[in-house]
Structure 1
Amino acid sequence: MSSLRVGFVGAGFIAKFQVQAIAQIRNMEVAGVTSRTRAHAEALAQQARAAGVGEAVVYESISAMAPHVDAIALYAPNYLRVAMMEEIVEAVRQGAALKGVICEKPLGRNVAEARRLVDLAASANLHTAYFENQLFMKPLRTQMAQLAPQQRTMGPPALVRSAEEHGGPHEAWFWDPTRQGGGVLSDMGCHSIAVGWYALTPLGKPITFLQPVSVSAEVALLKWGQPHWQQQLLDRFGVDYAKTPAEDFATGMITYRNPESGQVVKAQFTNSWMFEKQGLRLLMDGMGPGYAFEINTLASSTQIFIGDVAAEAIANAEAALEKATASRGLLTVHHNEADLYGYTDENAEAAAAFLAGRDGFLPWSYGLEITRLVMAAYMAAERRQTLDLTDPAVQAGLESYVPLIQQGRGAEVLR
């Protein structure tokens, strides 16, 4: 079997997760790694080699790595990606024979940035894959396959609700709205919005078949703006929510129209950085005429209990569950989070696509549309009104819109 030699840009949390995923597939290997922090790149390369997924040569720059890989995966912070993509395009112009480029969600911090990335990839004739792992989750795809007969008989779902929640990100730049692009709506709302749109789409139709009609949303700072937690955030990450706050809670509703039947369907999204249960929870459910589905990643088939007397022996709670909040009591355990959350399948699909000379299932043009919906949700929250996504003035405004929270002016929205 042919294997896609991928070069990683970035060596943080998500890159480590992706190495775990690649270890479970046969058509991709980690050929190179580059990071602004050499020690991080060396550590990730060692992880990849130990997992047997490639040579993982450490390079000083994207330009140095590009001639030695088939594709490049951008796992670096959001605020760096445009400049990194410009370096990739220049490397192609200098002769690097890249087949494609991968970008971890979100594609851009705003529509203008996402569109710039799409245009850059097109200028270098590069195939693209937008990594939205939740659309590759086996539980989500299994329920769609299982309910396919009901869809054909009764019609597609009419309502989908999707939530992703945990206690907050690992790294400082995620908390900084000017670097990350906002708060939890930018970070995790892109997941939940994508799940809703995808799960509502009728069988056999393109991923953007349903037309967005309207969006309403609310954002709030419910936990991390309180003095105790605000100080903890400042002490731990150097991020001051007294000056530049971001939302730790977001919820909203997007209405879609089926362009063939005229049917109106709805997708609700909810996201928070203030979830106080065992750890990361993905909660998805949907309803159609006479059928329904529900996915809850905290309802694991494996649970363990650790009493107080034995709690000192635990080594690493996150080995059992991402964003774990406890190391004793009744704990949820996932034996393979990289597969559960869809990372294995998104890598396998991207590799197959690039090796076949085509875009991934989710090209960057799709990532642009998700960014547009996230920005529309921010705009609706700022205006405190339901936004008409069919209004040409709204569509034009979204092209240059930068949320107040992303500008560092979150106090005007969240206070």
Structure 2
Amino acid sequence: MRHTWRWFGPKDPVRTEDIVQAGAVGVVTALHHVPNGIVWTKDEIAQRQAEVARRSDGTPSGLTWDVVESLPVSEDIKKQKGDWRAHIAAYKTSLRNLAAAGIKVICYNFMPVLDWTRTDLRFRLPTGATCMRFDIHDFAAFDIHLLKRSGAAADYPPDVAAEAGRRAALMDDATRRQLADSITMGLPGSTEAMDLARVRAHLAEYGAISSAQLRRNFIDFLTEVVPVAEQLGLRLCCHPDDPPFPLMGLPRVMSDTEDYAAILGGVDSPANGMTLCSGSLGARPDNDLPAMMDTFGPKVHFLHLRNVRRDGSMIAGSFHEAEHLEGDTDMVALIAAVLREEARRGVEGREDASIPMRPDHGQEIVDDLRRGGQPGYPLVGRLRGLAELRGVERALRQTGAFR
């Protein structure tokens, strides 16, 4: 595996020299300040590459921009409304500009409205560490009582809806604002932050779009962009839904094995691939992550390795982000499956025999608790995660236990 690190640019409190010291050799980043649907220019791409390549004192970092995460797919494309055709044309131009810069792996997602959803960005654990958490009862309280989505209560089991009502009745204004902010929070530097009015507007437009229609729209998008990516030697890799089950009545199309089989088979090309995110997919108890790696291995172009601890066996249930080796996913078995795929690619002579991975998210521990950085992206917590994952990989390689 090629060890990489997500970085949000010069304003990220984690510096490039910190990334080097953590043991990563590549960077995963994006032009978060460019609005969705707008072309990523060659100059902007070159500027970010230069920022990755130097330390804060101006000396070379030795790092390279290895993976784009993400080149966003606009809501217009997902809904096939408004300027969606112009946005697809811009997407193709951005792909050409990234290829010209030598960047070959492009991660993206096809989640409607919200890129990811948590109800608590700093959930305190018994150890004193904090992590991100999704609580189905708090989310239902938001959906039913804060957002006031029509018919929302019927989308939850009666006991969940009842508990949501109890919790909502106890919330003061500050608690309500904090919950809404947690759910609608975007990535650092993003131009696509949401408020409740904008969420409601998107929900109204998605009202007539079923999961089957969204899947068709997704395949239409891939039919347009995958041939361009294949011609350029790029590897597109779709990130799963996070969490991988329906929310707010919105359709979901990348949540399980069936979804990935439909999308990867719908436009069958080496350029149409998967970002295997063990945390997102692991939030569903019916997703077997090592088996998914074995099934889709040839088209896995990028790895997000993190773990979650589920509260129970519900498909749409609560979970929090656990230590990388301590959640409900068998991370040792998953990494063994990755190493089997890499060995197979090596025999085939594939240039991408080493799959880029990054330690996804992480708990805030020790100095992280005083830094006040981006939730989910702490320095020390991710450094610990990368060290643990590298240790598992080294042990499996040296013993040959992955074969």
Q: Same-fold call, TM > 0.5?
A: no
Relative to total residues, which structure has the larger strand share, 1 or 2?
Answer: 1
Higher relative contact order (CA 8 A, sep 6+): 1
TM-score normalised over the length of structure 2: 0.28
